[in-house]
Structure 1
Amino acid sequence: MPVAQEDPRHKVDRHVLEMLVCPLTKTRLTLGAEGKELISVAARLAFPIVKGVPLLALDEARNVEPEEVQALTRRGS
């Protein structure tokens, strides 16, 4: 069985990601470790990326645990 590869049309351009901000705090977003969500450290929210499109609606976001935020801040240092 062949391994399914991600459709290149569904990848988010890193330059676009640099322009996006959290809709709640207006602070910079961090790409999650697996590249499937954008995380607002300030708001402790993670916004999903679906088929290459970041869903920045607050009702789409999940809460991020404090341990996950700490790991992100260490990774960014």
Structure 2
Amino acid sequence: MSIQGAKDELQAIDPQLLSILVCPITRTALVHDTEAQELISEAAGLAYPIRDGIPVMLVEEARPL
């Protein structure tokens, strides 16, 4: 993969979408980790993956922080 291709993959989540999404456990706001491509729930101590630009908001898919 080229350097440009790698940079293209590190896309920011649409701010409007990020303002709507909440942790399914705590119902608190999420923080987007662009480099790791995850949405972080500090309250739950979980990181939800973003795959192909789509947040996977399933608790069983989240990793513990």
TM bucket, shorter chain = 0.7 to 0.9
Using structure 1 for the length normalisation, give the TM-score. 0.68
Larger Rg: 1
The answer to whether 1:55 aligns with 2:56 is: yes
Distance 1:47 1:31 in 2: 10
Question: Where does residue 3 of structure 1 map in the other structure?
Answer: 3
How many correspondences in the alignment? 62
Higher helix share: 1
- Greater mean deviation of Cα atoms: 37-46 or 14-23: 14-23
**1:1-77 → structure 2 map (5 Å cutoff):** 2-5=2-5, 6=8, 12-34=13-35, 36-64=37-65
Identity of aligned residues (%): 42
**RMSD of equivalent CA atoms:** 2.2
Structure 1, unpaired ranges of 5+: 65-77
Higher strand share: 2
Distance 2:55 2:28 in 1: 15
Structure 2, unpaired ranges of 5+: none
Q: Which runs of 4+ in 1 moved over 6 A?
A: none
Distance 1:63 1:45 in 2: 5
Cα 1:56–1:2 change in 2 (3 A) is: closer
